[in-house]
Structure 1
Amino acid sequence: MDIGRLNINIKGIASTGFNGNHVVFEEIETRLGILIPDDYVSFIRTVDGGHPEIGSFVVPGSSPENFFDVSWFYSFANPQVENIQRAIDRWANVLGPRNLPIGKDGGGNQIYLNFNEPVVSVWLYLHDENGAKIKVADSFEAFIAGLTANPDFI
């Protein structure tokens, strides 16, 4: 998984990897009744939240012009980025059980890991479209691999 190509930063400074207490992963797993996938843990250990410069994705089955941008990935311990525990507090009831919010777009739509399928997948919750939930990738690693530069910013 090539995380470096995303250039995840906080106010223009490269985001650092997780440096908090690892118990936070276990707390979230217990709280949601899940096992956080290794690829996502590796991501957080490399960049604990932030804004990706390469972060656009198209919803499968839609037109290429219908893209979304990851505005922020949530953090486990970085105080400069919205904390994943607060995101869970805010969105757990809306996303439903066994779903972990991992980031959001500029409009507040949630990007989350869905643990309710045989393989953990990435979904988009569109709060401004009657709560539509759309699968966007078959795994976190596939989601990261599929992120592209926003064509409007090139």
Structure 2
Amino acid sequence: MNIARINVNTGGDPTPGYQGDEGRFRDLEALVGKPLPASYIEFLRTHDGGHPEASSFFPPGEDDYDYSHEINSFYTLSDGKACVFNAFKSWRETLGEGILPIANDSGNNQIYLDLNETPPPVCMWLHDVEELDENGESVEDFLVADSFEAFIDGLTIDLNLI
């Protein structure tokens, strides 16, 4: 996983890694009721939230930027409005148990880790989708990557936005 490649920043300035009490990671695991992937902990220690320059990703099987999604911001472990603790508490009822929101897009759709699976995949929940698949199931959730590492490594820069 190449975290530096995605250039996470806040207002153009590189984000510092998490500087607070290491017990905060255990607190988050206790709140969610599941262990956090080591790669996600490494990410928070390197970049505690912020906007990645390489922020675009695609649903499985797509590679056309017309169908891409973009991260607005990763949630931070530090206290504040964009804190992962607040995101978890806000979205727990909607997303379900063992689901940890890690980022959002500009429409406040949630990018999350499904900690109920090993390794935890990264998925996205779209709040304004009312489509059903061929089995009549809602398509508001979809798999983005098989792991957090694959998610980070798959982020790209949308050249149409530069």
**TM-score, shorter chain, exceeding 0.5:** yes
Taking only aligned residues, the RMSD between alpha carbons, in angstroms, comes to 1.5
Per-residue CA deviation, residues 37-94 of structure 1 (Å, 9 max, x unaligned), is: 0000000000000011111001003462200001100000164x61111111111111
| Correspondence list, 1:1-154, <5 A | 1-62=1-62, 64=64, 65-77=66-78, 79=80, 82-130=82-130, 132-154=140-162
- More deviation in 127-136 or 38-47? 127-136
Q: Using the alignment, how far apart are the partners of 2:6 and 2:99 within structure 1?
A: 24
Unaligned runs of 5+ in 1: none
Aligned to 2:134: none
- Please report the TM-score for the alignment, with normalisation by the length of structure 1: 0.93
* Aligned residues of 1:113 and 1:121 also touching (Cα < 8 A): yes
* Aligned residues of 1:7 and 1:53 also touching (Cα < 8 A): yes
Change (3 A) 1:47 1:142: same
Unaligned runs of 5+ in 2: 131-137
- Identity across matched positions, percent: 40
* Bigger strand fraction: 1
* Aligned residues of 1:48 and 1:78 also touching (Cα < 8 A): no
Stretches of 4+ aligned residues off by more than 3 angstroms: none
Per-residue CA deviation, residues 1-54 of structure 1 (Å, 9 max, x unaligned), is: 211111111111100001011111111111111100000000000000001111
- Please report the TM-score for the alignment, with normalisation by the length of structure 2: 0.89
